[in-house]
Amino acid sequence: MTSGVRLAGESDRAMLIADIARLIRDPTMPERTRLAGLTLIGWLARRRPEEPPHTIGVEEALKSERRLQAVRGKAR
């Protein structure tokens, strides 16, 4: 990958982050949509393109999701 291509990708990524940040500041934005936007920004905001995303909290989040699914299943 040439640095010119990577810079173009980095520029696009930065603009996308800025656009999402602008949208989620809208006071009429539903809270769940705002949280989804923040999550997407987190995924986009890696330090370097070749670095993998961190995994801190992934195991805990998966456990929490399984608990929520179990509660939802019991409520039906």
Tell me: the pLDDT tens digits for 55-73? 767 788 788 889 888 888 8
Q: Domain of 56? A: 3-75
Residue 49 has pLDDT above 70, yes or no: no
pLDDT confidence bin for 76, thresholds 50/70/90 = low
| HSE-up of residue 65 (Cα within 13 Å, Cβ side) | 6
Q: Please indicate, yes or no, whether the overall pTM of this predicted structure exceeds 0.75.
A: no
Report pLDDT for 35: 92
Cβ–Cβ under 8 Å, residues 37 and 20 = yes
